[in-house]
Amino acid sequence: MALLDVRDLHTTFRTDDGLVKAVDGVSFTVEPGKTLGIVGESGSGKSVTCLTIMGLNDRRSASTSGQALFKGADLLAMPKNELRALRGNEISMIFQDPMTSLNPVHTIGRQLVEAVHLHQDVSRSSARSQSLDVLKAVGIPNAERRIDDYPHQFSGGMRQRVMIAMALINHPDLLIADEPTTALDVTTQAQILKLMDTLQKEYGSAIVMITHDLGVVAEIADDVVVMYGAQVVERATAEELFARPSMPYTWGLLGSLPRIDHDVERLAQIPGTPPSLLNPPSGCRFHPRCTYAMSICQSEQPPLASATGSETHLSRCHLDQATRLTEIKKLESGHFAEVT
Amino acid sequence: MTRYVIRRILWALVLFVVVTFVSYVIFFLIPADPVKLFAGRQATPEDMARAAAFYGLDQPFYVQYWKFLSRLVTHGVIGEKALGFSFVNRQWIASGVQSRAPVTASLVLGGAVMWMILAVPIGIVSALRPRSLIDRGATVFVLIGISAHPVFLALIFLYIFGYKLHMFPIGSYADFFNPPPGQAGGPLQWAWHMFLPWCTFAILFAALYVRMIRASVIETMNEDYVRTARAKGAPEWVVMRSHILRNALLPIVTMLGMDIALGLGGAVFTESVYSLPGLGQWAVQSLETFDLPVTMGVVVFATTAVLVVNVIVDVLYAVIDPRIKLA
């Protein structure tokens, strides 16, 4: 059984301008101990998907439908108290900006101890020694001394390590990481990813990694979901996705990734801007920006269907098999960048 | 920290001199001759000259100001003779301040407690339920609180709760520690006598603070670390107490320090209407009788209080907000 099984998830926000469908029929599964990468541009609905699963959307403006089965129990239908008992205990979350995600007026020790006490009935000293252990595990130097420091006394990378420590302290089965490396500089990014990889092996947690960086996905993900305009547009194992990406948006993402084995003058970019979720385009949501768009793309939304014959590889596109294969070839040989 | 406090105290001294000097200038700009008042109606020019010499009013104001300052220094600021004596009844100002300051302190500090007791819960509830009935009710309360003058409120309160309903005493004060013989005293009597003045004094600030706390809480609720706390599995009351309020009330503490000081000014009206023998009432009387030493005594006391409260608040702020280092 999958650890997390998300089925036909919809999240709608009421705003002053109207209804915003931030998540529109998203489904995916996460296997125990595996890593799922969710990729997409800003505003594609990847963060909201995870906040919805965690029950962290603003209840006054968000409405949700669908199912998110965690070990068979629906997180969306669960009473608030049960969900709260799971949060930070069996499901944890790391956020994008470590600079603002820690409470500035409490020491990190106090914030870690709070996380322990919320879910374990242990003494103060035991909670503190657990906190110290997990700080050492995430590589905070001088952890004994630094545990009583305040967040502003740490660098961005160190704060993200503290966030990871706080997320892992209760040994969760699922860790949701919402762009954990975006706000960090490149060398720190690599360190944090490596750390998460090591800790995953040690703690055996499954990870949902939200990112807009395909490089990150290539490095750590077992499965990948590509989101565009609040929908899943491609879903595959990481191997399949990088070997045979099967729709133009994914091609665009890959084309805009610098590659060490190809020499191109200029990296490709996807023209245009992400669609408005207030008033999404008709038909295929990507068609206004798609260089392959046909007339059917404007009127009819393609279903999420097997693209390459593989059961695990699904995508949303009207293009026929032959065209896709030739384009994949071009992408492989590096010509693709010039075509788009 | 020590350097910071020393620097603040030096600045406080400069401010003190400026404030008292300006008070002197203003007093001498009033187009009236206090000497005429003190010498009596039938006074001859010789009597007037004698009176002026007796009070030191024959000298230019800067000489008088200099004497005022040097007297403060030579007698020690809190010495009996440091502030001189009253023109009107020749009593030492210091003893007057000593007996009246507790009354004003009762009013202002009790009022501050009262306005925080009112404002914190109302502010939080209206932040949690924006545009709800309670929030809109709070808005009406704020509007009334800001618009109504303390004199008007005091008279209305006295009329309804004192005169009509006989729930509270009218125009008297009960000392907390040492009531004069034959008068009511003690904590209970004190609180009972002060209740209406507190309400009057607190309502303006309570209104302002409801608005401030509401805004501050709403802003803090959207902070990332509040989401982190929820993601940790913290129940809502823990999120509110330990993560939202702790941060949202930081700016409120600064405001509180300034407003308690400002409140000394507002105390004038409240004390006058409720006949509380406090500093505000004394200051008003002294202006009516051109009693310069009394005016200056109240100014000296109020200035010192404001400066001290501000230093305390700044130091306190560094204690409750670990990000602030005083230097």
Torsion of CA B158, B164, B166, B170, to 10 degrees: 30
ipTM of the complex: 0.87
Residue B281, pLDDT above cutoff 70:
yes
Asked whether A50 and A91 are in contact (CB, 8 A), the reply is no
Q: What is the pLDDT of residue A159?
A: 93
Instruction: Point out which residues pair with A231 in neighbouring strands.
Output: A228
- Segment B219-239 mean pLDDT: 93
CA distance A211 to chain B (A): 18
With cut-offs at 50, 70 and 90, classify the pLDDT of residue A129. Answer: very high
- CA A164, chain centre distance (Å): 15
Structure tokens at A143: 């952890």
Q: What is the pLDDT of residue A120?
A: 94
Instruction: Point out which residues pair with A15 in neighbouring strands.
Output: A18
Helix, coil or strand: residue A51: helix
Most confident by average pLDDT, A121-130, A176-185, B122-131: A121-130
Residue A153, pLDDT above cutoff 70:
yes
Higher pLDDT, B10 or A307: B10
Place of tokens 């004596």: B85
Predicted structure pTM score: 0.82
Task: Check if A286 contacts B (Cβ < 8 Å).
Answer: no
Q: What is the pLDDT of residue A238?
A: 93
Task: Check if A95 contacts B (Cβ < 8 Å).
Answer: yes
Residues of A in contact with B227 (CB under 8 A): 56, 95, 101
Q: What is the pLDDT of residue B87?
A: 82
Q: Which residue of A56, A100, A105 is in closest CB contact with B230?
A: A56
- Segment A269-289 mean pLDDT: 88
With cut-offs at 50, 70 and 90, classify the pLDDT of residue A338. Answer: very low
CA A9, CA A6: separation in Å to the nearest integer? Answer: 7
Torsion of CA B241, A116, A150, A100, to 10 degrees: -70
Residues of B in contact with A53 (CB under 8 A): none
Share of chain B above pLDDT 70, in %: 99
Phi, psi of A314 (to 5 degrees): -115, 145
Structure tokens at B173: 């004060």
Best of A103, A146, A208 to mutate (most B CBs within 10 Å, chain B) = A103
Residue A258, pLDDT above cutoff 80:
no
Q: What is the CA radius of gyration of chain A?
A: 21
Residue B287, pLDDT above cutoff 90:
no
Residue B301, pLDDT above cutoff 90:
no
Asked whether A139 and A160 are in contact (CB, 8 A), the reply is no
Higher pLDDT, A244 or A262: A244
Q: Do A105 and B224 touch (CB under 8 A)?
A: no
Taking residue B302's Cβ as centre, other Cβ atoms within 10 Å add up to 20
Q: Counting one residue from A and one from B, how many pairs have CB atoms under 8 Å apart?
A: 73
Of residues B259, B320, B306, the one with CA closest to residue B113? B259
- Segment B194-208 mean pLDDT: 89
With cut-offs at 50, 70 and 90, classify the pLDDT of residue A302. Answer: very high
Task: Check if A85 contacts B (Cβ < 8 Å).
Answer: yes
CA B142, CA B130: separation in Å to the nearest integer? Answer: 15
With cut-offs at 50, 70 and 90, classify the pLDDT of residue A9. Answer: very high
CA distance B239 to chain A (A): 11
Burial class (CB in 10 A: 0-12, 13-18, 19+), A317: buried
Bridge-based pairing of strands A223-228 and A35-39 is: parallel
Structure tokens at B116: 């925080």
In what side-by-side order are the strands of the sheet with A314-316?
Answer: A91-94, A174-178, A206-211, A35-39, A223-228, A231-237, A314-316, A304-306
Place of tokens 């009819």: A300
CA A151, CA A153: separation in Å to the nearest integer? Answer: 5
Q: What is the pLDDT of residue A339?
A: 40
Taking residue B166's Cβ as centre, other Cβ atoms within 10 Å add up to 9
What type of residue sits at position B60?
P
Residues of A in contact with B232 (CB under 8 A): 87-88, 92, 114-115, 118, 166
Bridge-based pairing of strands A35-39 and A18-30 is: unpaired
CA A130, CA A151: separation in Å to the nearest integer? Answer: 19
Q: What is the pLDDT of residue A340?
A: 40
Per-residue DSSP letters for B204-262?
A: HHHHHHHHHHHHHHHHHHTSHHHHHHHHTT--HHHIIIIIIIHHHTHHHHHHHHHHHHH
Best of A47, A81, A105 to mutate (most B CBs within 10 Å, chain B) = A105
Query: Taking CA atoms, what residue in B is nearest to A55?
Result: B231
Best of B228, B242, B320, B321 to mutate (most A CBs within 10 Å, chain A) = B228
Helix, coil or strand: residue A118: helix
Residue B302, pLDDT above cutoff 90:
no
Residues of A in contact with B229 (CB under 8 A): 103
User: What does pLDDT average to over chain B?
Assistant: 86
With cut-offs at 50, 70 and 90, classify the pLDDT of residue A63. Answer: very high
With cut-offs at 50, 70 and 90, classify the pLDDT of residue B327. Answer: low
Most confident by average pLDDT, A141-150, B94-103, B196-205, B246-255: A141-150
CA A44, CA A54: separation in Å to the nearest integer? Answer: 18
Strand spans (E) along chain A: 4-15, 18-30, 35-39, 62-70, 73-74, 91-94, 174-178, 206-211, 223-228, 231-237, 304-306, 314-316
The residue count of chain B comes to: 327
Bridge-based pairing of strands A231-237 and A223-228 is: antiparallel
CA A184, CA A163: separation in Å to the nearest integer? Answer: 13
> What are the residue boundaries of the structural domains of chain A, listed by start?
4-225, 245-339
The CA-atom distances, in angstroms, between A321 and each of A231, A241, B91, B195, B208 are: 22, 15, 105, 84, 68
CA distance A96 to chain B (A): 9
Instruction: Point out which residues pair with A222 in neighbouring strands.
Output: none
Q: Do A163 and B321 touch (CB under 8 A)?
A: no
Structure tokens at A11: 């999240």
Indicate the range of A21-35, A36-50, A164-178, B37-51 predicted with least confidence.
B37-51
Q: What is the pLDDT of residue B239?
A: 94
* The CATH number, out of the four listed (2.60.300.12, 3.40.50.2030, 3.40.50.300, 1.10.10.410), of the domain defined by the range A4-225: 3.40.50.300
CA A297, CA A295: separation in Å to the nearest integer? Answer: 5
Residue B65, pLDDT above cutoff 80:
yes
- Segment B259-267 mean pLDDT: 78
CA B307, CA B297: separation in Å to the nearest integer? Answer: 15
Burial class (CB in 10 A: 0-12, 13-18, 19+), A297: buried
- Segment A203-214 mean pLDDT: 91
CA A10, CA A135: separation in Å to the nearest integer? Answer: 37
Residue B12, pLDDT above cutoff 80:
yes
Indicate the range of A63-72, A85-94, B175-184, B210-219 predicted with least confidence.
B175-184
CA distance B275 to chain A (A): 45
The residue count of chain A comes to: 340
Which domains, from first to last, does chain B contain? 2-74 (no CATH), 93-320 (1.10.3720.10)
